């Protein structure tokens, strides 16, 4: 670690749970972020600020004026630009030492199979039910930890999936892949701006805990946040023995 890095990350290094060894694990990590919007913005900014050495961000969308109410990585002068390029610029403005791979495309099986073998952690920051299941299945397939979140109106959800834990549930154990699901998006339902910041920041926190190897991850729990009442609830979820994605019979 260089003198500049020792100074930049000194407040992490001071923490006994992280220290030099934990910060070095963060510097060596590769985080894959699916989505560069409301959740992906704070998640990427905090991971970049914390020194995650390589961040790959995937999103096929461009910055729109309606995004700026909550997607804090983007700015007015970058309206019309690819979100992945805007996010890369935002992270580099904080920490130019982070390597960022910006992919303006939709996540699919081929892309995830290419990226996940070298990934340390995956963050699902998308707003699409089908993509969530595709990412979950890829993480199970490659045995990579996944931090998934969602935010709509005033309500947020957070779940950590760890395929290395044979007893832990995956996303499909809780939300059936073949369920009839009415896709609801911010464009039609609205979303409270600080909510996505809260959930995306918590995704970054869970990712850093897993990378650095401290604390207890929120595995096996579905955490739900009601920002109207500032109320958290947590539901213990069990592995589904007949899950089509992660069960032994898959």
What are 29-44's pLDDT values in tens digits? 999 999 999 999 999 9
101's CB contacts (< 8 A; 6+ apart) are 54, 55, 56, 57
For residue 249, the model assigns a pLDDT of: 44
**What proportions of the chain, in percent to the nearest 5, are helix, strand and coil?**
40, 20, 40
Residues 6+ away with beta carbon under 8 Å from 135: 34, 107, 112, 122, 124, 126, 146, 148
Looking at the domain assignment, is residue 78 inside a domain?
yes
Helix (H) or strand (E) holding 148: strand 146-152
pLDDT in tens, 166-225: 889 999 999 988 775 555 555 667 899 999 999 999 999 999 999 999 999 889 999 999
DSSP 15: S
CB 134 within 8 A of CB 107: yes
Query: What range defines the domain where residue 223 resides?
Result: 3-236
Q: Which residues pair with 148 in a beta bridge?
A: 124, 159
The string of DSSP codes covering 88-132 is: HHHHHHH-TTSEEEEE-S---HHHHHHHGGG-SEEEE----HHHH
The mean of the pLDDT values for the chain is 94
Looking at residue 250, what is its pLDDT?
A: 42
Phi, psi (5° rounding) for residue 64? -120, 155
Query: Average pLDDT, stretch 137-166?
Result: 96
Q: Is residue 173 part of a domain?
A: yes
Q: Specify the number of domains making up the chain.
A: 1
Indicate whether 243 belongs to any domain.
Answer: no
For position 180, what pLDDT does the model report?
A: 59
| Distance, CA of 33 to CA of 102 (rounded, Å) | 10
Q: Which residues are catalytic?
A: 186
245 located within any domain: no
Does 247 reside within a domain? no
**Does 249 reside within a domain?**
no
Q: What is the pLDDT of residue 189?
A: 78
CATH of the domain at 92: 3.40.50.720
Q: Is residue 180 part of a domain?
A: yes
User: Residues 58, 32: contact at Cβ < 8 Å?
Assistant: yes
Domain assignment present for 244: no
């Amino acid at each position: 670690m260089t003198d500049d890095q020792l100074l930049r990350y000194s407040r992490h290094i001071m923490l006994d749970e992280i220290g030099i060894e934990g910060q070095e694990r963060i510097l060596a990590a590769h985080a894959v972020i699916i989505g560069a919007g409301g959740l992906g913005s704070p998640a990427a900014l905090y991971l970049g600020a914390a020194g995650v050495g390589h961040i790959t961000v995937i999103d096929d969308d461009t910055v729109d004026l309606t995004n700026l109410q909550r997607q804090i990585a983007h700015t007015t002068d970058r309206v019309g630009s690819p979100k992945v390029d805007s996010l890369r610029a935002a992270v580099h403005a904080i920490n130019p030492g982070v390597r960022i791979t910006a992919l303006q495309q939709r996540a699919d099986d081929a892309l995830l199979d290419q990226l996940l073998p070298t990934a340390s952690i995956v963050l699902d920051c998308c707003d699409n039910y089908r993509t969530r299941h595709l990412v979950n299945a890829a993480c199970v397939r490659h045995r990579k930890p996944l931090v998934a979140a969602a935010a709509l109106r005033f309500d947020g959800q957070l779940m950590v999936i760890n395929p290395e834990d044979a007893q832990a549930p995956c996303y499909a154990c809780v939300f059936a892949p073949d369920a009839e699901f009415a896709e609801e998006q911010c464009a039609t339902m609205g979303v409270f701006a600080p909510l996505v910041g809260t959930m995306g920041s918590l995704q970054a926190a869970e990712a850093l805990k897993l990378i650095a190897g401290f604390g207890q991850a929120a595995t096996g729990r579905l955490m739900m946040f009601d920002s109207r009442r500032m109320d958290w609830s947590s539901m213990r979820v069990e592995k589904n023995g007949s899950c089509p994605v992660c069960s032994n019979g898959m």
